[in-house]
């Protein structure tokens, strides 16, 4: 079976699962909009539409497979009760993250560090397009940016620029309760999506 066929099969399976969820409950627990069978989910500022008919990005097109998986899992894994632990933690601090830690560094943190080394103003500008805004949370870094990845799932970026002794370094943090909303693979993919989004904006 071709890779695209496998993705299409996974996509249809997810849509079937989404069609069976209680939209009113999802709306209440996740803080999203749902009406007439269509769920609207902000993802890094862009509003995506999810229904049993399909998933569309802000331009009306089917998004990348990675984004479709994140959005569907976000709906399907919706917790029964809202978690409260808002402590910021690194990805590797999550209990089940070990199999994905290397990929998270390779596909999320390292590309951001390499792309924006020596370019802090460009990083702040690109981040702004994806809901990123500077914050001060008392952690030492050249710049700290908070992103609204999904409702209830913020993301914090700590960026230290290169100097004569060290290469640039990017660290992405989640609130501890993020693991109640998504599995480790999807949380890793959120980081990858951010890196890809910043890269696309930087190329414009």
pLDDT in tens, 160-179: 999 988 999 999 999 999 99
Query: Is residue 48, in this structure, part of any structural domain at all?
Result: yes
For residue 99, being part of any structural domain is answered with: yes
Total domains in the fold of the chain = 2
Per-residue pLDDT for 70 more than 60? yes
Evaluate whether residue 83 is within a structural domain: no
Q: Are residues 92 and 192 in the same domain?
A: yes
Task: Determine the structural domain holding residue 9 and report its residue range.
Answer: 3-76
In this predicted structure, what is the pLDDT of residue 3? Answer: 62
* Shared-domain flag, residues 136 and 172: yes
- Note whether 92 and 70 are same-domain residues: no
Q: Is residue 12 part of a domain?
A: yes
Where does the pLDDT of residue 204 fall: very low under 50, low under 70, confident under 90, or very high at 90 and above? confident
Question: How far is the C-alpha of 133 from the C-alpha of 19, rounded, in Å?
Answer: 35
Q: Give the residue from 76, 98, 118 where a domain finishes.
A: 76
- In this prediction, residue 1 carries a pLDDT of 46
Query: What is the arithmetic mean of pLDDT over 16-36?
Result: 89
pTM check: above 0.85:
yes
Estimate the share of the chain in helix, then strand, then coil, as percent rounded to the nearest 5: 45, 25, 30
């Amino acid at each position: 079976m071709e890779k695209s066929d496998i993705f299409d099969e996974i996509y249809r399976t997810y849509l079937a699962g989404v069609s069976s969820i209680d939209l009113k409950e999802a709306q209440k627990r996740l803080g999203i909009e749902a009406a007439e069978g269509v769920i609207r989910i902000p993802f890094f500022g862009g509003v995506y539409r999810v229904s049993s008919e399909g998933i569309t990005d802000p331009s009306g097109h089917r998004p990348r497979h990675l984004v479709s998986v994140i959005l569907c899992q976000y709906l399907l894994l919706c917790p029964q009760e809202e978690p409260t632990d808002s402590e910021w933690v690194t990805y590797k601090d999550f209990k089940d993250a070990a199999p994905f830690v290397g990929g998270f560094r390779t596909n999320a943190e390292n590309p951001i560090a390499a792309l924006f080394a020596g370019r802090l103003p460009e990083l702040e500008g690109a981040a702004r397009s994806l809901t990123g805004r500077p914050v001060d949370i008392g952690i030492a870094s050249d710049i700290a940016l908070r992103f609204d990845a999904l409702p209830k799932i913020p993301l914090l970026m700590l960026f230290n620029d290169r100097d004569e002794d060290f290469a640039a370094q990017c660290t992405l943090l989640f609130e501890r309760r993020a693991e109640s909303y998504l599995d480790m693979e999807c949380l890793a993919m959120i980081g990858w999506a951010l890196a890809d989004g910043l890269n696309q904006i930087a190329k414009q």
